[in-house]
Amino acid sequence: MTHHQIRRGAYYDSVVLMQLQRALSVLPGIHDAGVVMATPANLELLSANGFALADIVTTPDDLLIMVRAESDVAATEALAQIDALLARKRASSVDADYQHKSLAAAAQAMPAANWVLVSVPGRFAAQVAHEALDLGKHVFLYSNNVSLADEVALKQSARAKGLLVMGPDCGTAIINGIGLGFANRVRHVGVGDATGIGIVGASGTGLQAVTSEIHRLGGSITHAIGTGGRDLKAEVGGITALQALAVLAHDPATAVIAFISKPPSPDVAARLLDAARAIAKPVIIHFIGYPAPAQQLGNLYFAHNLRETAALATRIKNQEPRAKNQEPRTKSQESSAKSQSSRIEDQHLASSNLDSWFLALGSLFVRGLFSGGTLAYESLLALQVVLAPIYSNSPIRPEQALPDARHSIGHCIIDMGEDEFTQGRLHPMMDYDLRLRRIRQEAADPSVGLILLDVVLGEGSHPDPASELAPVIAEVKAKRPTLEVVIIMIGTDDDAQGQHAQIARLSDAGARVFHSVDAAVGFMAQAYPSHFKNEYPPVALSSLTASPNGLTAINVGLSSFYDSLRSQGASVAHVDWRPPAAGNERLAGILARMKRKS
Amino acid sequence: MTHHQIRRGAYYDSVVLMQLQRALSVLPGIHDAGVVMATPANLELLSANGFALADIVTTPDDLLIMVRAESDVAATEALAQIDALLARKRASSVDADYQHKSLAAAAQAMPAANWVLVSVPGRFAAQVAHEALDLGKHVFLYSNNVSLADEVALKQSARAKGLLVMGPDCGTAIINGIGLGFANRVRHVGVGDATGIGIVGASGTGLQAVTSEIHRLGGSITHAIGTGGRDLKAEVGGITALQALAVLAHDPATAVIAFISKPPSPDVAARLLDAARAIAKPVIIHFIGYPAPAQQLGNLYFAHNLRETAALATRIKNQEPRAKNQEPRTKSQESSAKSQSSRIEDQHLASSNLDSWFLALGSLFVRGLFSGGTLAYESLLALQVVLAPIYSNSPIRPEQALPDARHSIGHCIIDMGEDEFTQGRLHPMMDYDLRLRRIRQEAADPSVGLILLDVVLGEGSHPDPASELAPVIAEVKAKRPTLEVVIIMIGTDDDAQGQHAQIARLSDAGARVFHSVDAAVGFMAQAYPSHFKNEYPPVALSSLTASPNGLTAINVGLSSFYDSLRSQGASVAHVDWRPPAAGNERLAGILARMKRKS
């Protein structure tokens, strides 16, 4: 039986909502619980998760709490505990001394603060961000659902004041060694001469993947500056990206700059590249899904993918003469960097070892369930070569569009960070609930052979993803031992979650863990060999090369080709060709076609 | 004074036309001569070259001969010699024993011939090619202006017979060590176990660039199979490319395959990649101007550009275990490969050496005059990052379209192998006449600072490009010493033109010579530094990092971000944010906006 409660116009931090849902779902006699702001998207998700919504009338500002229980009594008792549970959750971890009722009050109490993090619901976020700018603070604007017009107004205002607005929808930044939003713990360098790598990214998980990989390769980060995903649209004009490039250009600790983004508008790309060329430092560019114009253009280096972006930045930084002197890399540092990947599948699959990776997935489908948009994009970009057709709620080509993100078809890549999954709830990097449900849903589909997941560790993310994921993976593997689970793990050895322990636990549950999209997709490419069958008669190799050396040919046309073939030692006959029926070519053509047909 | 003669419906091999034009232009008292089939495009070019065409009435099937002379007498005397000159040119170099009146006769006389090269005018070419297929021969179809329908019919017919049709508009192939059409002399391997590189290319100069570079890197070619530029269009479906991949897959001498093409249709790309994945050999893929889906997917490796395609193929071939055993590379081989580039600008411009390359071209324009379409495309792809706006008669983006290919504007890349320059005349790799005129035209424009040229050596090309180019380069440099001439030279040390001598002569005339688009454009990127000016107040680095270690921030929204910042050692104040005027957000928003405005 399903019971529900509606709290009209009630606002709770989505952390609180998640905690309430978890608390309700473990009460005695409760099978499942749902706690959401009653937006249309959330109602659809509840319905897809088996909650009956008939007769429930809500507005998007209402808090809807549902429980499915073994009895009416259990349901009623659970709902009766809501206030107590909320009261307990509200007893925040925030020290009372540092807790304020308004931004103005907080700014007065802590005048040294020069950053404001804004993660309030989107429709209020621009207002709060403007207030922060008016107080002279930089803004990390995590909130999404901020209008493009508000974004432009905020960024123009910030630029005029010499302030940064990172976002809206900015997931990640690392400023002076401190991660904002979702961020991995990486080696930081803030002072001294040019030994660090600075990064600008219009992609949150892209920034996380690149900073983590640089750390794995032994490099240090100065700052990683997020811009929000729309910064490179024509309307915004890359305001934050251009400011960020200028910051890193002037930062004496930054030796090399990396710049990553989904495809920008051509005009904005041109301005950004022009700005990057004006910097007296190497700049690694990765426009995801865009053709690289060259390998190198002066100080610009173009990368294929996130992993190569990190590798190039690290390599070029190590080639910079100043950096070399400052930071001689010892053998022990190198071996420590390598030893981290003990339980990780080797990323560089030597071609001679490929046979052992071979999986017989036949015609079973891949279902990718992603928390990181850029990881989903990069996976789709590569997998579309191997798996066709493939569908997505973030398609690269129109024909890949998935009609309903809640129901996979065929091979499918789902970005669960998209709006339809995140309204009024925590990001899927924090809240695994929807992904766990979806894993079970996909695993129950006998046409599915492989589930692909990303697990992003670091600040802001779930404190222990394996604790939730591993049991579900073990559960679905127990039911279908041949089901493959492949994980792309973004994280570092310093992340609070304990990367080693996470990998160990996920591996023990039966997942295969990789450190990059590149490595995971490379593995999957082996699992899905080509189905190509050439149904036509082969061209006999011997017919190409009838003579043991060289060639025997007839030349019809340019006499210079005859000369060339002869000079190379080929046997050649020449036809002194003239137009048939000279002067009446049309007639000649008709005659020839008639001749062929007869 | 200009005199002319029209020969109605006369057909001559375009080699003969070029030779007649050259012979006329050096007669006493003759300033200039033009000998063309009177197509509209050719009449426009004559007119652009200063020939008065008023009152001349021709059809495209007529041969038009024009001379501009110092006197009527000189002009009349020159035209009177046409028949004698033509008779001399007609005395072909072809040995009478190997000369035939028809393809059938040639095939009967030389039954071992399994290839037919077709370079007759496009409207007759399909007919000749069908005849060759009916005789059981593979076809190298150099002719252009063959309809797409004819191409499909030819290729379907060939496929059914187990034969190849390379082309139409196929510029290059190397079969069993023999170059067809335009091709460079490269190390060949035809027998033995897997020590060679086989190439499939829907791009003639692309094939030349890659085969030459592989040779320079010490590698050997098995076969280089051209497909014609339209093979990967949806209508043709990559018939030849798929056949060619199958040939190389089965060729025991081929260890590694490289595949290059301009962007194919997505469906054809999918089929090709699927076919390539079915091959038990590494395949290097370069879809020019397309985003690479990954660095590596199983046996597929994706390259950025032509040079990297060659480098990857060579490197991976050397990693193949069998190849390693067969062909241990000695030190002396390596140094000999390196010593070839003595007079060539180093392709890998170390960033520390960049200052010496700096040119002050300021706002002067680049004019690129190309004989190779793929080199033009790759140059435009890279230069559009450095030079904006840039125009072309083969634009990548619509806004780059050049209104009139005969007249450059701004920065400009002209593909002189396009139809408007080649109707009824030899390809610009053979006939430098139009390029020499255009070089003078561009050099006379004071807004031009750099002329970019390609020079493609090898079979089929001009026997001595430097003999024509160097004097014109020296001439324009004498008039304007600051004018830069940059040359991309495609060729090998074994090419008949003598690459060393060509480079020496062009360098002595004042040109800078590079071996790849990549290297030439990299050099030019230095010559055109960024004009970027940031007109906005900078973001003070100190304001990002007020505290020496870490960060001081105010968090508005998710309490988990407060926890995260604290755990990283940052100083944080938290605002316990609630929606303003809870339950009436719209009103609250309006109030807030009113407050900000006041």
Cβ–Cβ of B596/A113 closer than 8 Å? no
End-to-end alpha-carbon separation of chain A, Å? 80
Number of H helices, E strands in chain A: 22, 23
Lookup: tokens for B351? 């960033």
CA distance, residue A165 to nearest chain B CA (Å): 11
Is the pLDDT score of A280 beyond 80? yes
> In this predicted structure, what is the pLDDT of residue B255?
96
Q: Do B178 and A246 touch (CB under 8 A)?
A: no
**Which of B93, B397, B529 faces A563 most closely, judged by CB atoms?**
B93
In this model, does residue B320 exceed pLDDT 70?
no
pLDDT at residue A345 greater than cutoff 50 = no
**Cβ pair A544:B164 closer than 8 A:** yes
Q: Is the pLDDT of residue B353 over 90?
A: no
- For residue range B380-413, list pLDDT tens digits in order: 999 988 888 899 999 999 999 999 999 999 999 9
Query: Burial level of B331, CB count in 10 A (0-12/13-18/19+)?
Result: exposed
Give how far Cα A503 sits from Cα of A481, A497, B225, Å. 19, 10, 47
Contact call for A552 and B114, based on CB within 8 A: yes
SS3 A563: helix
> Which of A238-252, B7-21, B113-127 is the least confident region?
B7-21
- Report the pLDDT averaged over residues B498-502: 96
Chain A environment of B530 (Cβ under 8 Å): 274-278
pLDDT at B587: 65
Average pLDDT over residues B460-467: 95
pLDDT, tens digit (0-9, with 9 covering 90-100), for A19-75:
899 899 999 999 999 998 888 888 988 988 889 888 888 888 889 999 999 999 999
pLDDT of A380 above 90: yes
Which backbone phi and psi does B24 adopt, to 5 degrees?
-65, -40
Q: What is the pLDDT of residue B333?
A: 43
How confident is the model at residue A592, as a pLDDT?
65
* Cross-chain residue pair A556–B61, CB shorter than 8 Å: no
Is B88 a residue whose pLDDT tops 80? no
Chain B residue with CA closest to A118: the answer is: B556
Q: Where would I find the H helices in B498-575?
A: 499-508, 517-527, 541-544, 559-567
Q: Fold for domain B103-331?
A: Rossmann fold (3.40.50)
Mean pLDDT is lowest, of A279-288, A330-339, A417-426, B60-69, for A330-339
Beta-carbon separation of A178 and B570 below 8 A: yes
DSSP B96: G
Residue-level pLDDT at B321: 57
Out of A113, A243, A273, the one facing B539 most closely (by C-beta) is A243
* Closest A-chain CA to B308: A295
CB contact under 8 A, B534 and A190: no
Residue A532 has its nearest CB partner, among B142, B274, B550, at B274
Residue of B nearest to A305 (CA): B294
Residues of A in contact with B352 (CB under 8 A): 321
Q: Reply yes or no on domain A351-527 having CATH 3.40.50.261.
A: yes
Tell me whether residues A521 and B9 touch, CB distance under 8 A: no
Whole-angstrom distance, CA of residue B354 vs CA of residue B282: 36
- Among A361-370, B203-212, B488-497, where is mean pLDDT lowest? A361-370
What is the average per-residue pLDDT within B314-331? 60
User: Would the CB atoms of A116 and B556 count as touching at under 8 Å?
Assistant: yes
Residue A228 sits at φ, ψ, to 5 deg, of: 85, 145
| CATH code of domain A170-333 | 3.40.50.261
CA B363 – CA A58 distance, rounded (Å) = 64
Quote the pLDDT of residue A334. Answer: 41
Q: Do the beta carbons of residue A339 and residue A345 sit within 8 Å?
A: no
Nearest to residue B98, comparing CAs of A579, A545, A581, A552?
A552
- pLDDT class for B586, splitting at 50, 70, 90? low
In single-letter form, the type of residue at position A275 comes to: A
Which residue shows structure tokens 């807004």?
Answer: B447
- When pLDDT is cut at 50, 70 and 90, the band that residue A363 belongs to is confident
For chain B, counts of helices (H) and of strands (E): 22, 23
User: What is the per-residue pLDDT for B338?
Assistant: 40
Cα-Cα-Cα-Cα dihedral sign, residues A460, A464, A468, A471: positive
Report yes or no on whether pTM surpasses 0.80. yes
| Rounded alpha-carbon distances, angstroms, from residue A165 to A35, A276, A281 | 32, 20, 24
Question: Which one of A106, A298, A538 has the shortest CB-CB distance to B246?
Answer: A538
Closest Cβ–Cβ partner in A11, A557, A571 for B117: A557
Helix A465-479 × helix A499-508 angle, to 10°: 10
Measured between alpha carbons, how far is B94 from B100 in angstroms, rounded to an integer? 10
The mean per-residue pLDDT over the stretch A428-457 comes to 96
Q: Are the C-beta atoms of B560 and A430 separated by less than 8 Å? A: yes
Q: Out of A86-95, A229-238, B444-453, pick the least confident.
A: A86-95
Kindly state the helix (H) or strand (E) to which residue A436 belongs, with its residue range. Answer: helix A433-443
Enter the tokens of residue B304: 């950025």
Q: What is the mean pLDDT of residues A339-353?
A: 37
Query: Which pLDDT tens digit goes with each residue over A125-182?
Result: 999 999 999 999 999 999 988 999 999 999 999 999 999 999 999 999 999 999 999 9
Name every chain B residue with its beta carbon within 8 A of the beta carbon of A550: 176-178
**Residue A528 tokens, joined:** 């899905």
DSSP-derived secondary structure for B561-572 = HHHHHHHTT-EE
Asked if B164's CB is within 8 angstroms of A539's CB, the reply is yes
How big is the CA angle at B498 (ends B495 and B501), to the nearest 5 degrees?
Answer: 155
pLDDT at position A29, please? 94
Phi, psi dihedrals of residue A26, rounded to the nearest 5°: -100, 5
Average pLDDT, chain B: 87
What is the per-residue pLDDT for B348?
A: 33
Q: Which residue from A minimizes the CA distance to B254?
A: A541
Residue A159 dihedral angles phi and psi, to the nearest 5°? -60, -40
Per-range mean pLDDT, top range of A460-469, B1-10, B296-305: A460-469
Q: Which residues of A touch B181 (CB under 8 A)?
A: 561
Euclidean distance between CA atoms A200 and A177, whole angstroms = 15
SS3 annotation, A246-278 = HHHHHCCCEEEEEEEECCCCHHHHHHHHHHHHC
DSSP H helical segments within A135-238, as ranges?
A: 148-161, 204-216
Average pLDDT, chain A: 87
| pLDDT over threshold 70, residue A321 | no
Is residue A444 exposed (0-12), middle (13-18) or buried (19+ Cβ within 10 Å)? exposed
Model pLDDT, residue B358: 40
Q: Please state, in angstroms and rounded to a whole number, the distance separating the CA atoms of residues B459 and A194.
A: 51
Asked whether the beta carbons of residue B589 and residue A124 sit closer than 8 angstroms, the reply is yes
Candidates B541, B571, B583; nearest CB to A250:
B541
E strand or H helix at A593: helix A585-597
Q: Which of A332-346, B18-32, B317-331 has the lowest mean pLDDT?
A: A332-346
Which of A142, A145, A200 lies closest to A170 in space, CA to CA?
A142
Q: Please list every residue in chain A whose beta carbon sits closer than 8 Å to the beta carbon of residue B176.
A: 544-545, 547, 549-551
Distance from CA of A386 to the nearest CA of B (A): 7
First-last CA distance in chain B = 80
Asked if the model's pLDDT at residue A326 lies above 60, the reply is no
Q: Nearest residue of B to residue A119 by CA position?
A: B557
pLDDT at res. B383: 92
Residue A117: which residues within 8 A CB-CB, separation 6 or more?
A140, A142, A180, A181, B553, B554, B555, B556, B557, B561, B565
| A578 CB neighbour count, 10 Å cutoff | 13
* Candidates B105, B175, B273; nearest CB to A544: B175
Domain residue ranges in chain B: 2-90, 103-331, 351-527, 541-597
Same fold, B103-331 and B351-527: yes
The verdict on a CB contact (< 8 Å) between B98 and A572 is yes
Interhelix angle B306-319/B204-216, rounded to 10 degrees, is 50
Average pLDDT over residues A420-438: 90
Which pLDDT belongs to residue B298? Answer: 86
Most confident of A313-327, B181-195, B245-259: B245-259
Q: Worst-scoring range by mean pLDDT, A29-33, A141-145, A333-337, A484-488?
A: A333-337
Q: Quote the pLDDT of residue B495.
A: 96
Chain A residues lying within 8 Å of B299, measured CB to CB = 351, 354
From the list A190, A541, A549, which residue is nearest B251 (CB)? Answer: A541
Closest CA to B386 of A232, A278, A260: A278
Q: Which of B114, B307, B312 to mutate to test the interface with A (most CBs of A within 10 A)?
A: B114
Q: Give the pLDDT band of residue A337 (cuts 50, 70, 90).
A: very low
CA distance A45 to B365: 58
Average pLDDT, integer, range A372-378: 93
CATH number of the structural domain B2-90: 3.30.1360
The answer on pLDDT for B529 being more than 90 is no
Closest by Cβ to A114, choosing from B11, B319, B543: B543
Token output for B264: 């194919």
